Amino acid sequence: MKISLILGHPDKASFNHAVARATFETLRGNRHEVFFHDLYAEGFHPLLVKEEIPKGADVEPVIRMHCTEISLADGIVIVHPNWWGQPPAILKGWIDRVLRPGVAYEFEEGDGGEGMPRGLLRASTAIIFNTSNTPEEREKNVFGDPLEIIWKNCIFGLSGARIFYRKTFSLIVTSTPEQRAGWLREVGDIMNRYFPSLDKNIEIRIRSETNEDYARIADINDLAFGQKHEGVLVASLRKTRDFIPELSLVAEIRNDVVGHILFYPVMIRSGNREYKSLALAPMAVLPAYQRRGIGGRMVIEGLAMAKMLGHRSVIVLGHSGYYPRFGFQPAHRYHIRAPFDVPDDAYFAMELVEGELRDKAGVVIYPQEFTDV
């Protein structure tokens, strides 16, 4: 992965620099490519001039480089102190000059700027590390935590990074060396969680869910889909009589749950008869762990578990380039259709027992929970 790391603090002996170093070292240790910029050390010029404001404006080479890097980044990490509830001026200038129209956001055609912008950043994850000498309770209750609003709502909420995490280390002025060492270990843990190692030999464990996984499963679905529908769906299905705990599977790496897949009973209505089947839905993997074969492992082991439990077929709505590799066939070949409009090349069926779907043409009936979300 490509990660953009931006540091905004003038003192090389500051804890901000220590946080940036810990971030950089962990990311490189995890085999990520890091675009690192210490704005003060590089003498970044923060002043936005009027000629730079329009989309497509000709910008200085250094700004063009920053824009290219931020456009290529899969993740963004920014480190800075809390100064008057704001980022330092040099970092505010970086925001103005780099997170510009056509790079971080754009307005729809015909929108003169009065509407809601569309985020353009490729980065799905943005992490902010702050330092402060204000107690956390006072920052939130008295000042309203303005940095949270600035970064989460005003900047990354509008530029496309759907996963946001912010950590403030305080109080810096009274912190001990032991506290700071613990905070730096926490920085490493956060980087490992959001931007894990790219080691392809890492061990993946697939197992059935437990009660302790419920909240994590909801988070994984929310983050993977960028909305809460799938997490709500899983929680609702879990309360039903037909829910099968053994077929709600999680993927675990280093004792951290990073993926989830659910197989839930449905019926195929064929004339006056109904036949049992399973729906594979939803399946989710944390964005930082996607495209590493985790989803495929869950599909394979989930299908094996379903067959072992005596189930005979599976239905799935999904990508035409993905599910056929596991043996799924277009459902229309069995004359099976969805109860809603869906392209033929996105709806699939699979026989776990040979011949199971022969002469079972009909429509798949999903439980009410699927239509309620």
pTM, two decimals, is: 0.67
pLDDT of residue 113: 67
- Spatial separation of the C-alpha atoms in residues 195 and 127, rounded to whole Å: 10
Spell out the per-residue pLDDT of the chain, length 373, in tens: 899 999 999 999 999 999 999 999 999 998 899 999 999 999 999 999 999 999 999 999 999 999 999 999 999 999 999 999 999 999 999 999 999 999 999 987 776 667 788 899 999 889 999 999 999 999 999 999 999 999 999 999 899 888 899 999 999 999 999 999 999 999 999 998 888 886 766 788 999 999 999 999 999 999 898 888 999 999 999 999 999 999 999 999 988 999 999 999 999 999 999 999 999 999 999 988 888 889 999 999 999 999 999 999 999 999 999 999 899 999 999 999 999 999 999 999 999 999 999 999 999 999 999 988 7
d(CA 261, CA 306): 12
Which residues have CB under 8 Å from 233's CB, separation 6+?
221, 281, 282, 369, 370, 373
Give the integer Cα–Cα distance in Å for 329 and 358: 13
Q: Is the dihedral of CA 188, 21, 198, 296 positive or negative?
A: positive
Q: Please, what is the end-to-end C-alpha distance for the chain in angstroms? A: 33
State phi, psi for 233 to the nearest 5 degrees: -60, -50
Q: How many CA atoms lie within 13 A of 290 on its CB side?
A: 14
The token duo for 106 is 């754009």
Q: What is the per-residue pLDDT for 107?
A: 87
Chain centre distance of CA 35: 20
Paired tokens of 307:
């067959």
Bridge partner residues of 311 (DSSP)? none
Name the DSSP letter for residue 108. P
pLDDT at site 57: 94
The CB density around residue 232, as the number of other CB atoms within 10 Å, is 16
Helix (H, G, I), strand (E, B) or coil at 363: strand
Q: Which two tokens stand for residue 245?
A: 């705990």
Q: State both tokens at 29.
A: 């240790």
CA distances from 307 to 263, 300, 314, 348, 354 (A): 11, 11, 10, 17, 12
Q: Which two tokens stand for residue 266?
A: 């449905």
Do 263 and 270 form a contact (C-beta atoms < 8 A)? no
SS3 351: strand
C-alpha distance from residue 115 to each of 156, 201, 212 (Å): 17, 47, 42
Contacts of 335 (CB under 8 A, 6+ apart): 361, 362
How many CA atoms are closer than 13 Å to the CA of 35, on its beta-carbon side? 18
Domains delineated in the chain: 2-194 (3.40.50.360), 205-372 (3.40.630.30)
CA angle at 207 for the pair 206 and 211, rounded to the nearest 5°: 135
